[in-house]
Amino acid sequence: MADAVLKLARLHDGPEIFHSIQGEGISAGVPSVFVRASLCNLHCRWCDTDYTWNWEGTPWEHERDGEPGYRKFKREDWILEIPAREVAEQVASFPCLQVILTGGEPLLQDEAWLTMIRCLLRKNPAYRFEVETNGTLVPSAELDAAVHQYNVSPKLENSGNNTQLRCNADALAFFARSPKAWFKYVISSKDDLAEVDTIITRHAIPHDRVLLMPEGRDEETLQQRRLWLADTCRDHNFRYSDRLHIQLWGSRRGV
């Protein structure tokens, strides 16, 4: 039987697998191994991993479209297909048991991730797995049993995705019921806050599991937004999330 294959983002001459610290969400600051999936079912206009979905010939807009030299990505140049067992070997080469499945949208590759996870658990049952997801897909029961934490980032109107694409009531209900799920909303302006309130009320998302994070890929933009957003989190009892990796290293890959 053929091994399950993961479609991963390319970084230099290999897959985007790296050892760093988590920069966002409830696990910020925790040393982690990141494995970045290619492919996504959404197309956020401010996405900083647009090389996982913004392919040549697609109609989607991105905020960098006006930058000199920016162009859509050639799909075959930016995806590596690697057997899940080989991915597990690469992950195991790092002295770290915290593994974050990120993307793109990892839950598009449910079965292959499960193969990788099982390989790692055979090596060491102390491995811990987090999944970063846009909250539009429901994981299989088998994958759900293996995952320790979901970092769910439902997209708002500011992402440029239409409501039908970015809001899946069944998926949001699944994550709202899961004690493993934390919800992180990317905030561009104060106008986004009413939309967050509507979503968490409509889908019964626990208020104490909601984090608000400023949108931005440079320190100047983040500083402008974090000041009023931190006040908002304090006044409305939301958790605040910054983007620690941007503060430390800027908008770079593999860190």
Q: How confident is the model over 110-120, as pLDDT tens digits?
A: 999 999 999 99
Paired tokens of 34? 């990141």
Nearest Cα neighbor of 215 from 253, 163, 254, 158 is 158
Cα–Cα distances in Å, from 230 out to 8, 197, 227, 235?
Answer: 34, 16, 6, 9
- Determine the average pLDDT of the residues in 9-22: 95
Q: Check: CB of residue 52 under 8 Å from CB of residue 37.
A: yes
> Does residue 216 have a pLDDT over 90?
no
- Determine the average pLDDT of the residues in 188-194: 92
| 9: helix, strand or coil | strand
How many CB atoms sit inside 10 A of residue 123's CB?
Answer: 13
Q: Check: CB of residue 40 under 8 Å from CB of residue 53.
A: yes
- Determine the average pLDDT of the residues in 140-167: 96
Which pLDDT belongs to residue 152? Answer: 98
Q: Is the peptide bond before 216 cis (omega within 30 degrees of 0)?
A: no
How many CB atoms sit inside 10 A of residue 221's CB?
Answer: 14
Q: How confident is the model over 19-59, as pLDDT tens digits?
A: 999 999 999 999 999 999 999 999 999 999 999 999 999 99
> Does residue 215 have a pLDDT over 60?
yes
Which pLDDT belongs to residue 224? Answer: 82
> Does residue 1 have a pLDDT over 80?
no
Q: What is the pTM of this model?
A: 0.93
Q: Which sign, positive or negative, has the C-alpha torsion 78, 80, 84, 86?
A: negative
**Fold category of 5-249 in CATH:** TIM Barrel (3.20.20)
- Determine the average pLDDT of the residues in 96-107: 98
Sheet of 128-133, strand order:
17-21, 31-36, 98-102, 128-133, 149-152, 181-187, 210-214, 239-240
Give domain limits for the chain.
5-249
Which pLDDT belongs to residue 2? Answer: 58
